[in-house]
Chains A and B, each alone.
Chain A
Amino acid sequence: MSEVTEVRLPGVGVRHEYTTSAGDRVGVLTHRSGHREVLLYDRDDPDRCRAVLHLDPEEAYTLAELLGGAQVSEAAASVQRIEGLAIDWLTVRSGSSLVGSTIAEARLGSRTGASIVAVVRGDTTLASPGPEHRLQAGDVAVAVGTAEGLSHLRELLGT
């Protein structure tokens, strides 16, 4: 698949587009309001759209799900709208002191102020892992917290 390009539209939002292997130019325009436009460009006049599909945030979510979009990233996007709260994907490095310890033992909440809300190991995603969950090198921890808390956690995980 060809590269996805990003274009900013002042006052409106942002547009991403790419070309399919069949030669169609496809784009998604994300309005600030969360509304989306799915765009299909015209082959004769590549600057205009042959078809435009208007979706409200819920409809866009449904379409993304039908297309097999990751639910975690959608949930993350809604978390990011809360002021002061950040989310990050952190890989547990083999050199980290936390490898082999459970989430409870690591006492992440009190040490960093950030908490791990999901762990991605290989192809499986474990949402809200319990305190007994043991971290392994190579795990990707989805963590939520303040910016400082997250950077502290990032150091602990050796990322």
Chain B
Amino acid sequence: MTVVAAPGGDVTLVFIEFGAVALALALLARLAGRLGIPAIPFYLLGGLAVGRGGLVPLAVSAELIALAAEIGVLLLLLILGLEYTADELRAGLRRGAVPGAVDAVVNFLPGFGAGLLLGWGVAAAVLLGGVCWVSSSGVVAKVLQDLDRMGNRETPAVLNLLVLEDLAMAVFLPVVAALVAGRAPLATVVTVAVACAAVLLILVVALRWGGRLSAALATGSDESLLLALFGLTLLVGGLAQRVQVSAAIGAFLVGLALSGPAQARAGALVSPLRDLFAATFFLFFSFQVEPRSLLAVLLPAGALAAVTAVGKVVSGWVAARRMGVGPAGALRAGTVLIARGEFSIVIASLGAATADGTELGAFAAAYVLLTAVAGPLAARFADSARQPTGATLLLSRKRLPGS
């Protein structure tokens, strides 16, 4: 008896293909763990291998993978929202406005400029700016943990910057989603206004009544909590997409709304699901990128990665110095932020439908591949170089007479 019919294909073949892909991802994740670098670049490479023009193109399971990828984005953002409490967001906004603004300017503008230089439309250029702007919270958190830096003085500055970036995305994504829709200027303004109003509404509702929602959810069994979360995320995501706010932001806000014991349990329950679907998302993203087009943009993407790596060092430096951290710590804060990852890919995938979508996809894939590998390496280097800059030398010399 056939319970599920694959859309226009043989179910068994879909199982075999998808199973093989998942196994390949498992191997890649293992390899990444061995090498001590994040798994995202490996997933992207895996997608290149099975995509168009790759080594072993998939025949039938693309539709299933595409749907799983969409769910992956929602879960990725749900978990991101779960990481933060409302209080942390408020505190981040209060204290981090200046470093947050510096971060946006020195990273967004180079990306935006590069997009225009490449002759892309404004929407695609804005998206590339976004790709460069946001550090990968996932990779940064992992590097901080691996290098035993969670207790360091500069770490709060780094984490605050990540909070601000993620929060800024709640406004940025709906705005670019409206830009991408490419309607007349007036219609775009209206869409942006509606989108921003919707985000604000959900945010207020989430912060105001999130406690009650969490209390209601916390009483049920794990099973019911998981189902409720999954349903809520898809529902709010879908509704958000309806009013031109990206579904991802809807999911992010659902995560923000949860607090207390429900938040902790939700994080533990959804994380395995997120790992499964998010891996599929990264795979599917580069699945659509032709390896040849990626090679073609490797050089400009590398140049942009170098420029925006300096940008991140600057924003990390500013954020850490404002908290009274010394030069060595400020350099550690900057280098750890170089890695871009999940959010950059989410942003680039928004532009898939634009005229420059294919090139943007290839560019973003190359860019994330480079920064996600170079970022952790740079962070390690900053750790081993005890006296990395002239400023540090000067400082230590100043201290000598007293010590």
A83 on the B face (CB < 8 A): yes
B162 on the A face (CB < 8 A): yes
Min CB distance B343 to A, Å, is: 14
Chain B residues near A41: list those with CB within 8 A.
Answer: 153
Q: What total of chain B residues lie within 8 Å of the partner, measured CB to CB?
A: 35
Bound Cα distance from A44 to B398, whole angstroms: 12
A3 on the B face (CB < 8 A): no
With A47-B152, A49-B152 known as contacts, the answer to whether A11 contacts B261 (CB < 8 A) is: no
B141 on the A face (CB < 8 A): yes
Find the A residue at minimum CB distance from B383: A48
Q: In the complex, which residues 134-161 of chain B have their Cβ closer than 8 Å to any Cβ of chain A?
A: 137, 141, 148-156, 159-160
The answer to whether B160 and A12 have CB atoms under 8 Å apart is: no
The answer to whether A10 and B326 have CB atoms under 8 Å apart is: no
Find the B residue at minimum CB distance from A15: B151
The answer to whether B151 and A44 have CB atoms under 8 Å apart is: no
Chain B residues near A49: list those with CB within 8 A.
Answer: 148-149, 151-152
- Scoring B residues 301 to 335 as 1 if CB is less than 8 Å from chain A, else 0, what string do you get? 00000000000000000000000011011001000
Q: In the complex, which residues 1-58 of chain A have their Cβ closer than 8 Å to any Cβ of chain B?
A: 7-12, 15, 27, 29, 32-33, 37, 39, 41, 44-49, 52
Chain A residues near B137: list those with CB within 8 A.
Answer: 11
Chain A residues near B151: list those with CB within 8 A.
Answer: 15, 27, 29, 37, 39, 49, 52
- Scoring B residues 70 to 95 as 1 if CB is less than 8 Å from chain A, else 0, what string do you get? 00000000000001110011011000
Chain A residues near B152: list those with CB within 8 A.
Answer: 47-49
- Scoring A residues 129 to 153 as 1 if CB is less than 8 Å from chain B, else 0, what string do you get? 0000000000000000000000000
Bound Cα distance from A45 to B387, whole angstroms: 10
The answer to whether A11 and B84 have CB atoms under 8 Å apart is: yes
- Scoring B residues 33 to 63 as 1 if CB is less than 8 Å from chain A, else 0, what string do you get? 0000000000000000000000000000000
With A9-B156, A11-B162, A37-B150 known as contacts, the answer to whether A47 contacts B91 (CB < 8 A) is: no
Bound Cα distance from A33 to B88, whole angstroms: 17
The answer to whether B326 and A8 have CB atoms under 8 Å apart is: no
Bound Cα distance from A83 to B84, whole angstroms: 20
Min CB distance A142 to B, Å, is: 22
Q: In the complex, which residues 199-231 of chain B have their Cβ closer than 8 Å to any Cβ of chain A?
A: 215, 218-219
Q: In the complex, which residues 104-129 of chain B have their Cβ closer than 8 Å to any Cβ of chain A?
A: none
The answer to whether B91 and A9 have CB atoms under 8 Å apart is: no
Bound Cα distance from A10 to B319, whole angstroms: 15
The answer to whether B84 and A47 have CB atoms under 8 Å apart is: no
With A27-B151, A52-B148 known as contacts, the answer to whether A8 contacts B156 (CB < 8 A) is: yes
Q: In the complex, which residues 148-179 of chain B have their Cβ closer than 8 Å to any Cβ of chain A?
A: 148-156, 159-160, 162-163
The answer to whether A48 and B159 have CB atoms under 8 Å apart is: no
- Size range of the chain A interface in the assembly: 20 to 34
Chain A residues near B159: list those with CB within 8 A.
Answer: 9-12
The answer to whether A83 and B260 have CB atoms under 8 Å apart is: yes
The answer to whether A11 and B332 have CB atoms under 8 Å apart is: no
The answer to whether A44 and B396 have CB atoms under 8 Å apart is: yes
The answer to whether A46 and B153 have CB atoms under 8 Å apart is: yes
Find the A residue at minimum CB distance from B153: A47
With A52-B148, A81-B261, A83-B218 known as contacts, the answer to whether A9 contacts B155 (CB < 8 A) is: yes
Chain A residues near B89: list those with CB within 8 A.
Answer: 10
Bound Cα distance from A20 to B156, whole angstroms: 23
B264 on the A face (CB < 8 A): yes
Interface residues of B (CB under 8 A from A): 83-85, 88-89, 91-92, 137, 141, 148-156, 159-160, 162-163, 215, 218-219, 260-261, 264, 325-326, 328-329, 332, 386, 396
Nearest 10 interchain pairs by C-beta: A47-B329, A47-B153, A39-B151, A10-B88, A11-B83, A52-B148, A10-B163, A29-B151, A49-B151, A47-B325
Given contacts A47-B328, A48-B329, 17 further A-B contacts (CB under 8 A): A9-B155, A10-B88, A10-B91, A10-B163, A11-B83, A11-B84, A11-B159, A11-B162, A15-B151, A27-B151, A29-B151, A44-B396, A47-B153, A47-B325, A49-B148, A49-B152, A83-B261
- Can you identify 14 A-B contacts, CB atoms within 8 angstroms? A8-B88, A9-B156, A10-B83, A10-B84, A10-B159, A11-B159, A11-B163, A12-B150, A32-B264, A45-B326, A45-B329, A48-B329, A52-B151, A83-B261
